[in-house]
Structure 1
Amino acid sequence: MTQSSVTRLGAIVAATRDAVAADPANAHAVFRASATAHDAVASTVETGQHRFEVDEPPALGGGATAANPVEYYLGSLLACQVVTYRFWADRLGIRVDDITARAEGDLDVRGFFGLDDEVRPGFGEVRVVVTVSGPEDDVRYAELQEAVDAHCPVLDLTRNATPVHTVLETA
């Protein structure tokens, strides 16, 4: 059961609900990113008004000047979990005083390097631990976790196949 909220998040939900009710096309959002390669295996990524660096550790040919792509994935998953916990706590009227999260993933580099085509190039498993504190009982926090697991976009990207269409352009 969801409840109405008078918080900032609740106001965002209400405004979005009203906009989508007026025109379902308002539910569609497009996010964009671009990357430019530099150095051995590094890149600069731009997402709208934000820019960040990506590199690999020396064992993968980089200089370890920034997080690598799979570390950014783990960070993206955790950040999405945190925001989704906050959103659904507000929506469900569950008080959360603090949220922390950590993740680790197992990656077998034989897949990336093409040493064994039976080994996938991505994570074989990712483990996430979210810690919430607050006055609610364990049943309420379990309800919150269920809502988060059902609605976290980055978790959904991992759990469900997402069509990706790649086009190679040559200049």
Structure 2
Amino acid sequence: MTTDVRKPLNDIADATARAVADDPANALVGFRVSGTPEGTVGSAITVGKHTIRVDEPPALGGEATAPNPVEVYLASLIACQVVTYRFWAQRLGITIDDLAVQAEGDLDVRGFFGLDDHTRPGFQAVRVTVRISGPESAQRYNELQHAVDTHCPVLDLTTGHTPVDTTLITS
């Protein structure tokens, strides 16, 4: 895989910048997903015309028919990292010959099970490893990493504060 440093993603970014300059409301993009229970603790998540199945391992009451929610988060983080690396490589004119991203996280189940209310139910730590190669200097790839860390939306969901408003509707 060699990143095309010519134009396609730059053209999209330039067109978006023009649209936002014309009307700042063009910068806002909404996303919507929905889910229903499936199996003992699994779920079927509808994302447009796609369905993502999520389950838990047997130790957490599931049947391991699909990734669990935190694995889906790690997959989302990796997917966002990959696209953000490719986008910013093109924006910065940096050539990538090969790119591979791995993520792992540590979760203390005491928080989820309510065994310790002082333990976060989410990841205690997440580690991302990016393997990148190409003709650029280490300094250029460090510049790229900084751009990705600054602009990756899914990374921002973890490192920043995102207000969540939950509405419960009963019948």
Same fold (TM > 0.5): yes
| CA distance in structure 1 between the aligned counterparts of 2:122 and 2:8, rounded to whole angstroms | 37
Distance in 1 (alpha carbons) for counterparts of 2:17 and 2:9: 12
What code does the residue aligned with 2:105 have? G
Q: Which residues of structure 1 form unaligned runs of 5+?
A: none
Structure 2 unmatched runs, 5+: none
1:69-127: per-residue Cα shift (whole Å, max 9, x none)?
A: 00000000011001000000000001111110101100000000000101110000000
Q: Secondary structure at the match of 1:18?
A: helix
Quote the residue 2:90 is aligned against.
90
Deviation of residue 15 (structure 1)? 1.0
| Separation of aligned partners in 2, 1:26 and 1:73 | 27
> What's 1:100 paired with?
100
For residues 59 and 167 of structure 2, what CA distance do their matches in structure 1 show?
Answer: 29
1:71 is matched by which residue type in structure 2? E
> Contact 2:103–2:126 at 8 Å: present in 1 too?
yes
What residue identity is the alignment partner of 2:160?
N
CA distance in 1, matches of 2:67, 2:45: 12
Which one has more relative contact order, counting CA pairs under 8 Å at least 6 apart?
2
Tell me which amino acid in the other structure corresponds to 2:9: L
1:43 aligns to what SS in structure 2? strand
The equivalences for 1:12-161 within 5 A come to: 12-161=12-161
What SS is found at the alignment partner of 1:163? coil
Q: Structure 1 CA distance, aligned partners of 2:6 and 2:25?
A: 26
